[in-house]
Structure 1
Amino acid sequence: MAEPILEFDDVDIRYRTDGDDVRAVNGASFAIDEGDYFGLVGESGCGKSTIADSIVGGLDDNGEVVSGEIRFKGEQIQDYSESEFNENVRWKEVSVIPQSSMNSLDPVMKLSEQAVEMAKYHTDLSRPAALDRLRELFDVVGLSESRISDYPHQFSGGMQQRAIIAFALFLQPSLIIADEPTTALDVIMQDQIMDYINGLKDDWDVSMLLITHDISLVFENCDSMAVMHGGQIAETGTVDDVFDRPRHPYAILLQNAFPDVRFPDRELAVIDGHPPQLRDEVDFCTFADRCPWAEPACREGAPPATPVAGDDDHLAWCVRAGEMSELAANHLERSTESTSILEGGQ
């Protein structure tokens, strides 16, 4: 069996401050297989973008991977220097579709010149070959090839985002990180952007890490996923597993906080409280103070990874994972039909 293209193995990431350190990511473990579209979902501030930054060496100066391993194609990269990230990872192997395209394109350079600069520093492509490649990629993302010599301000927000996708593909990377790629776009443009991203899967040999707070976006577009809360991975598995058989309380409540057109009368779940401020040692479940099913053991140590129904590919970091189907079904006020989401696979 082929090794994963990206692996996080018990990774801790901290930010140094004048006061106590911020423990942004704690014991994070997951893997992305080659050709897999992997979703990382969780509320703002849970550590998703910190994980993305750590993959390309983009942490702020006060950020540091303090323990664990990040492996890309089997090679440890968490201790790479700036030059090693530039030579071995950034753009050539891993590219990024950022949240804000308007802040990612040089406003005083034509897109064609930006492509030529990228080719100059990362490839041996000639100028004509680089421009031909950009034209090809503009066609892939639904932009007119005649627009490659325009400036960014001559594009709408949706067109700029598509241009960013073209640049992300320019060096034929193995992994694309899409960090909230539809933020600030209207719903029609969001759908178009996701269509372009999904189209890459059939036409390009590429894996993707899709980072979002919208769990429905992951359910619709990814193969596998991880749910994250308070700097900890809460649950991982295939999208079908996490959708049909969620076993971490946060994954269950997050899923049931979204409206479902199949059950218009269903009462939506409410996640009370706020994410924790992680200044002290994180030797507890970070969801414990918000969890309706918490017990003393939840605060007496970081939760272990528990296989769901004996499946090592579907893991929940919860001491009560084996009970959650019954506990949640009794707790949530749901119709008989919607209860099947939790009862599936028991």
Structure 2
Amino acid sequence: MSEPLLEIDGLDIRYETKDGEIHAVTDASFAIDTNEFFGLVGESGSGKSTIAKSIIGGLDDNGSVTAGEIRFRGEPIHSMTERELSERIRWKEIAYIPQASMNSLDPIMRLDKQAVELAKVHTDWSKQRAIDRLTELFEVVGLPGERIYEYPHQFSGGMQQRAIIAFSLFLEPSLLIADEPTTALDVIMQDQILTHLKSIQEEEDVSIVMITHDISVIFENCDSMAVLHGGQVSELGDVTRMFDSPSHPYSYLLQQAFPDIRHPKRDLSVIEGQPPQLQDEVDYCTFANRCPWSTDECVESRPPLQAVGDDNQYTSCIRYDEIEELGHRSPENTRSEVGGSNHE
């Protein structure tokens, strides 16, 4: 097998605050292959954006990688200096579209001028080459090439988002990280943006990481995925396999919380409670206090990410082989049968 493009291996990330240390990510591991469309899904506060920022060295000043490795083409990059990241990785190899990315365009500079400045900092391209490249990318994302000579305020929200995607591809990166790329867009524009990302992934020889709280977006667009809860990877694997047979209670309930046109009369699940505030060492399953099928064993140690059969699927639930059965039974009855409790 070829080497993964990006590897996250046993990653721990912590933030120092005035109230103590926050364990934002604990022992997270997954890999992204060349030309893969990968989904990272979970609720707000699950660690999605924190992992994304750590990949490009963009953590806030009070955040740091405290364990594990981030490898790009086999080379550790989490310990690179700011200069090394800027010269070798950011934009050239890994491009990042942040949340609220439409605000990242300079409002007082025409887009062609912004492209020339970007090329001046990172390449030896001529002014014409930079303009030609942006024109080409505008057409890739469904914008008229001549509009590169306009200002950001002359674009609608959806058009600005597509312009940002064009800029993210400007230096021909191998990996594009899109953090909630359809936030604040109407459903029609969301569909257009997702369609363009999918075509870009297929045509531009680039891998994409899609970060979202909407698991249905992942199921529709991605090849493989990781589900995060409380800074832990709950489940990891092929999208089709995880859609058909989720093996972690959080994945199962998250999927059941979204409408399915095949089962229009199905009652939607509700995941009770809130994600935990992780100020202490995380040596337990972070979903235990919200899980309707948790047992005392779930808080006695942190469950490892383990293989499920031979289908390239991994889960961190000790009851993974019971999930389908448990999902069709009353949570209250299940809990009383196994002697579990709400682990507060």
Q: Tell me the TM-score range normalised by the shorter chain.
A: over 0.9
Provide the TM-score with structure 2 as the length reference: 0.95
Q: Deviations over 1:212-249 (max 9, x none)?
A: 00000000000000000011110000101110110100
**Partner-residue secondary structure (3-state), 2:183:** coil
- Per-residue Cα deviation, 1:135-167 (whole angstroms, up to 9, x for no partner): 111111111111111111111100100000100
Please provide the CA RMSD for this pair: 1.2
Find the residue that maps to 2:20 and give its secondary structure.
coil
8 Å Cα contact 1:101-1:157 kept in structure 2: no
CA deviation profile, 1:299-344 (whole Å, cap 9, x unmatched): 0111111211244x20001111122222222248xxxxxxxxxxxx
Query: Which residue of structure 2 aligns with residue 338 of structure 1?
Result: none
1:152 maps to 152
Residues 35, 202 of structure 2: 8 Å contact kept? no
State how far apart, in whole Å, the 2-side matches of 1:329 and 1:30 are.
Answer: 30
Give deviations 1:110-136, integer Å, cap 9, x for gaps. Answer: 111110011011111100110011111
Letter in 2 for 1:169: L
1:132 aligns with 2:132: yes
Match of 1:319 in 2: 318
| 1:286 matched to 2:292 | no
Where do 5+ consecutive residues of structure 2 fail to align?
Answer: 332-344
The aligned counterpart of 2:191 is 191
Counterpart of 1:314 in structure 2: which amino acid?
A: Q
The aligned runs of 1:1-346 (5 Å cut-off) are: 1-311=1-311, 313-331=312-330
CA displacement 1:75-124 (0-9 Å, x = unmatched): 10111111111012100000012221331111111111110011011111
CA distance in structure 2 between the aligned counterparts of 1:175 and 1:247, rounded to whole angstroms: 28
Letter in 2 for 1:135: T
**In the alignment, is the contact (CA less than 8 A) between 1:39 and 1:224 conserved in 2?**
yes
Contiguous gaps of at least 5 residues in structure 1: 333-346
Distance in 2 of aligned mates of 1:310 and 1:137? 41
Alpha-carbon distance in 2 for matches of 1:310, 1:143? 44
Q: For residues 28 and 11 of structure 1, what CA distance do their matches in structure 2 show?
A: 5
Q: Structure 1-normalised TM-score?
A: 0.94
- How far apart, CA to CA, are the structure 2 residues paired with 1:329 and 1:243? 16
Runs of 4+ in 1 over 6 A off after TM superposition: none
Aligned residues: 332
